[in-house]
Structure 1
Amino acid sequence: MQIKNFKMDQSLKELTEHRTVVLPMACYETTINQNIHGYIPLHWHEEIQLVLIVKGEALFQINEDRITVREGEGLFINSGCLHMAEEMNQSGCFYICLNVSPHFVLSQELYTTFVYPYIQATNLSYLHLHPGQPWGKNSLDAILSIHRLLQQKPPFYEISITVQLSLIWQNLIRNGFEPEYDRTEMQKNRRIKHMLQWIHTHYTEKIKLDDIARAGQLSRSECCRYFKRILKTTPLSYVTEYRIQKSLVLLQQAESNVTEVAYQVGFNSTSYFIDQFRKSMKITPLAYKKSKKMDDGS
């Protein structure tokens, strides 16, 4: 299964319920360029995420860090961390992704000691899993085993999955970092989420830099530094890009037209929308709409 259009609330928290019928986890087979945006947009969720690159390579961003992950490598992405992914070098990147509730990693008796401190740690947003390291290879093999178990569902596969998850977690906490808790980092994470949530609530309205800064309880200059450091862009450029991404779904609706969509997503000029859309998507909104209509065979 692949999610091609991520549904998120205003804070970028993903709304997909990551679970099978009986297990508080989900497994996705993701081809990045098949997502509606052409990449995996910025989002976060309470579940931890385990990634194994099956083909190609991808650039992942986790909070402020950017990391290239190649075929045969993987990632552990911690609970609550903002992350996104884009394909590199037109490699047709395809990966297995496990989203797992932290409470399912170990038994309730062990959760407080061996899970909670690590998902709260500010120095453990992600770990790069390398097949050349024994503990990394063991973790990657376990991800693949869980994927097969969920596909084949042999007798007692649920128990087998818990064994593999315990193995992964033991590898991570043995070979990762000693957990640290930096209040400044925690506050920074909350502030960027508050600013993003404000933008996602008000993107159809006129937005000023002062408004975004106020949402994060920051000065204008400090607000700009947050966006530059974490999202590698300016606050108002982020607003423009977010509006364009919101327009993609609307443009695919048969009855929509470019002018209406431009105003619906917060642009006050059709020509400016077309210009910004072309810069971002390398295609005009009308050409994009026509291409999607052809893809649907209508």
Structure 2
Amino acid sequence: MQIKNFQIDQSLKELTEHRTVVLPIACYQTTINQNIHGYIPLHWHDEIQFVLVVKGEAIFQINEERVAVQEGDGLFINSGCLHMAEELNQSDCVYICLNVSPHFVLSQELYTTYVLPYVQATNLSYQCVHANEPWGKNILDALANIHQWIQQDSPYFEIDISVQLALMWKNLIMNGFQLEYDQTKIVKSARMKQMLAWIHLHYAEKITLDDIARAGQLSRSECCRYFKRILHTTPLSYVTDYRIQKSLVLLQEAESTVTEVAYQVGFHSTSYFIEKFRKSMNMTPLAYKKAR
């Protein structure tokens, strides 16, 4: 089984290039538990995303909300939204993911009227897409078609895809959203990304709560509230969890030792690293290393 490492930069922006050879899109199948972390870590990207769960079930977190998606159903995730995914009930969840540049959804003449207001809306971070609703089925069928055409490299598939994207977008927005633009939500999202970016840049160093709060231009108490509300954890617990994530890649290197890895990712005690690793991964770092 291939274990995949989900690449993101210090700001949590996904590094995957979302495009085929000629189109600003990417459509691929993902098995959640094959990721090196066992889940899809928190990230964001400029592209909008459509998801179709083809096996099992998953929990997706989008900004502060968590939503379960069952087999056969899907999800729309808006541009710039922090999101992550984990499988439910050891269901070996597999989903098809379509990432699309908002500028490619419709022609430039229609973009300002029919795409930009929805991409910028603060009350449309995500939308559940259900196969038992006609508009939802239209979207999910179109997504499945796009995935198949890209795999088969069918003649004129680029034209077919552009037609299906327009259909998907029309079905998404025709439900009559009352769009909102809340500046407070925009600021909160930016501050959360700033704090996470700072952690991801400095995780190997000594980090205090004051450091994290300062990165988001917040008080200590408000910083803790941000992490509790959005990530359901404390800032320093997030730092520990992130260090564990970073250690997984290093432990797979043949020449690495547990002690070296512990210090490389910011732990100043090998025993403390082992304790936290065992709690997170249900095995010791050495056992994990030998299993790879």
One fold, TM greater than 0.5? Answer: yes
1:89 deviates by: 0.4
Paired residues for 1:148-187 under 5 Å: 148-175=148-175, 177-187=177-187
Q: Which amino acid aligns with 1:203?
A: Y
> After TM superposition, which residue ranges in structure 1, 4 or more long, deviate above 3 angstroms?
none
**SS of equivalent residue, structure 1 residue 255:** coil
* C-alpha contact 2:60 2:67 (8 A) present in aligned 1: yes
* C-alpha contact 1:3 1:28 (8 A) present in aligned 2: no
Aligned partner of 1:240 in structure 2 is 240
Q: Which amino acid aligns with 1:171?
A: N
1:176 deviates by: 5.8
**SS of equivalent residue, structure 1 residue 198:** helix
C-alpha separation between the residues in 2 aligned to 1:98 and 1:29? 9
C-alpha separation between the residues in 1 aligned to 2:124 and 2:149? 28
Q: Percent identity?
A: 77
C-alpha separation between the residues in 1 aligned to 2:143 and 2:57? 18
Aligned partner of 1:196 in structure 2 is 196
1:6 deviates by: 1.4
C-alpha separation between the residues in 1 aligned to 2:176 and 2:282? 41
Paired residues for 1:39-50 under 5 Å: 39-50=39-50
How far does the alpha carbon of each residue in 1:242-276 deviate from its partner, in whole angstroms, 9 at most, with x for none? Answer: 00000000000000000000000000000000000
C-alpha separation between the residues in 2 aligned to 1:255 and 1:4? 21
How far does the alpha carbon of each residue in 1:220-240 deviate from its partner, in whole angstroms, 9 at most, with x for none? Answer: 000000000001100000000
Distance 1:3 1:170, change over 3 A: farther
**SS of equivalent residue, structure 1 residue 76:** strand
Q: Which amino acid aligns with 1:73?
A: D
Aligned partner of 1:296 in structure 2 is none
Aligned partner of 1:295 in structure 2 is none
Aligned partner of 1:31 in structure 2 is 31
Paired residues for 1:204-283 under 5 Å: 204-283=204-283
How far does the alpha carbon of each residue in 1:157-203 deviate from its partner, in whole angstroms, 9 at most, with x for none? Answer: 11110010000100111126222100000000000000000100110
* C-alpha contact 2:59 2:66 (8 A) present in aligned 1: yes
How far does the alpha carbon of each residue in 1:81-111 deviate from its partner, in whole angstroms, 9 at most, with x for none? Answer: 0000001101010010011111110011111
Note the residue ranges of structure 2 that are not aligned, 5 or more in a row.
Answer: none
1:154 deviates by: 1.9
Task: Calculate the TM-score normalised by the size of structure 1.
Answer: 0.96
Aligned partner of 2:17 in structure 1 is 17
* C-alpha contact 2:63 2:83 (8 A) present in aligned 1: yes
C-alpha separation between the residues in 2 aligned to 1:190 and 1:69? 27
* C-alpha contact 1:127 1:176 (8 A) present in aligned 2: no
**SS of equivalent residue, structure 2 residue 174:** helix
Note the residue ranges of structure 1 that are not aligned, 5 or more in a row.
Answer: 293-298
C-alpha separation between the residues in 1 aligned to 2:165 and 2:282? 42
Paired residues for 1:57-136 under 5 Å: 57-136=57-136
C-alpha separation between the residues in 2 aligned to 1:171 and 1:252? 45
1:7 deviates by: 1.3
**SS of equivalent residue, structure 1 residue 175:** coil
Distance 1:176 1:277, change over 3 A: farther
* C-alpha contact 2:49 2:78 (8 A) present in aligned 1: yes
**SS of equivalent residue, structure 2 residue 210:** helix
RMSD: 1.0
Task: Calculate the TM-score normalised by the size of structure 2.
Answer: 0.98
How far does the alpha carbon of each residue in 1:124-155 deviate from its partner, in whole angstroms, 9 at most, with x for none? Answer: 00000001111111111111111111112222
Q: Which amino acid aligns with 1:95?
A: Y
